[in-house]
């Protein structure tokens, strides 16, 4: 039986997610309904993607009895409210990254998942790409020896995009881009908490972080460096240095299709999209969707590939970095 999806928000990322779902077997994945805050917008989205039902409110989607899991593609400040709405209605949820605006909100979502006995996963799609699975395998078998250093960079001039630049919309380099670098670091170090976090950078005139450099120190003098920016183009790659060699993600580290191990490069191509996409390599969203299906079939409430503990750690480290930088959101003042 197919996993029946509801789509919350009819924006660009929801479009790409819906296109990615169509690259999977229809007997396994089916989009049943879409909801937006405006019914016309939802109907236009439904027509474009051949979705049977369109709702003009998220509450209507939450009450649909024929949905197994809801993909939440709203902007960051609405993740807590929408996630809570659906989980209280006993809906499993896949929530776009970042899971919430800060660690307090992340804990509220995890508590809601526990209280309502539903599945919850932060949509860190990178975790489920074949490249990321191969990185895990190589590290597990000691391909490059003991890891000594991890570096991950992601940045581009994006301040012209309101949701990335405006404080009220949850903008800033760390929440939108730095989270990819940090999740890669925690993937390599298997969710280990760093012993120290040092952050430096600068903010843009809207009050959000424009460019940030983080240095994390782990046990055994292992180091990680994360650089993210919405003001400049960075290398957008990742490097793992071990005692016996080097693993590189040379391109698009947030949606990787190429892996280089000790100088030897391997490609992991994505399926073709059925219609134009908004973001790079978006058909790769299929991998996190399939992870959700497999978890639901096994009766799991969290993904082994992106467990709640990793989402909590990500939020806590970003909170710490923002405190050092002096970047705050209104959500930080709510108890």
* Chain segment 267-312, per-residue pLDDT in tens: 999 999 989 999 999 999 999 999 999 999 999 999 999 999 999 9
Instruction: State the pLDDT confidence band at 335, using cuts at 50, 70 and 90.
Output: low
Confidence of residue 125 (pLDDT cuts 50, 70, 90): very high
- DSSP state for residue 195 in the 8-state scheme: S
Looking at every residue in the chain, the average pLDDT score rounds to 97
Banded pLDDT at 215 (limits 50, 70, 90): very high
Q: Answer yes or no: is pLDDT of 197 > 80.
A: yes
Given a cut of 70, whether residue 8 has pLDDT beyond it is: yes
Instruction: Measure the CA–CA gap between 150 and 281, rounded to whole angstroms.
Output: 24
3-class SS shares of the chain: helix, strand, coil, % to 5: 40, 25, 35
Confidence of residue 159 (pLDDT cuts 50, 70, 90): very high
Q: Identify the helix (H) or strand (E) that includes residue 21.
A: helix 12-21
State how far the Cα of 71 lies from the Cα of 159, in Å rounded to an integer: 27
| Rounded Cα distance, 125 and 329, in Å | 25
Give per-residue pLDDT as tens, 312-323: 999 999 999 999
Task: Using the Cα atoms of residue 67, residue 71, residue 74 and residue 79 in order, give the sign of their dihedral.
Answer: positive
Predicted confidence (pLDDT) at residue 333 exceeds the cutoff of 90: no
DSSP, res 124 = -
The fraction of the chain above a pLDDT of 70, given in percent, is: 100
> What integer pLDDT is reported at residue 331 of this predicted model?
95
- H-helix or E-strand containing 83? helix 79-88
CA gap 252, 256 in Å, rounded: 5
Q: Which two tokens stand for residue 249?
A: 């993600």
CA dist 317 and 179 (Å) reads 10
The pTM assigned to this predicted structure is 0.97
> Residue 47: its pLDDT value, please?
98
- In tens, the pLDDT along 11-67 reads 999 999 999 999 999 999 999 999 999 999 999 999 999 999 999 999 999 999 999
């Amino acid at each position: 039986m197919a996993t029946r999806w509801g789509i919350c928000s009819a924006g660009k990322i929801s479009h790409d997610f819906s296109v990615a779902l169509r690259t999977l077997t229809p007997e396994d994945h089916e989009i049943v309904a879409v909801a937006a805050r405006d019914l016309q917008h939802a109907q236009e989205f439904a027509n474009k993607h051949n979705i049977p039902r369109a709702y003009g409110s998220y509450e209507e989607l939450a009450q649909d009895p024929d949905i197994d899991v809801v993909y939440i593609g709203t902007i960051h400040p609405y993740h807590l409210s929408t996630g809570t709405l659906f989980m209280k209605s006993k809906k499993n949820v896949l929530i776009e990254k970042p899971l919430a605006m800060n660690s307090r909100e992340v804990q509220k979502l995890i508590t809601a998942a526990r209280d309502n006995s539903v599945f919850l996963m932060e949509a860190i799609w990178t975790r489920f790409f074949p490249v990321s699975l191969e990185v895990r395998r190589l590290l597990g078998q000691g391909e490059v020896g003991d890891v000594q250093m991890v570096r991950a960079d992601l940045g581009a001039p994006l301040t012209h995009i309101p949701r990335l630049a405006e404080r009220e919309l949850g903008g800033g380099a760390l929440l939108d881009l730095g989270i990819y670098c940090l999740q890669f670091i925690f993937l390599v170090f298997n969710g280990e908490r760093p012993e120290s976090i040092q952050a430096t950078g600068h903010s843009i005139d809207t009050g959000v972080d424009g460019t940030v450099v983080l240095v994390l120190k782990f046990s055994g003098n292992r180091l990680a460096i994360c650089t993210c920016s919405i003001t400049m183009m960075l290398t957008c790659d990742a490097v793992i240095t071990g005692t016996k060699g080097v693993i590189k993600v040379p391109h698009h580290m947030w949606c990787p299709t190429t892996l280089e191990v000790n100088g030897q490069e391997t490609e992991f191509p994505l399926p073709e999209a059925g219609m134009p996409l908004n973001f790079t390599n978006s058909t790769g969203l299929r991998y996190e969707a399939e992870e959700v299906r497999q978890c639901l079939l096994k009766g799991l409430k969290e993904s082994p590939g992106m467990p709640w503990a990793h989402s909590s750690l990500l939020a806590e480290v970003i909170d710490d970095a923002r405190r050092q930088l002096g970047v705050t959101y209104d959500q930080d003042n709510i108890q």
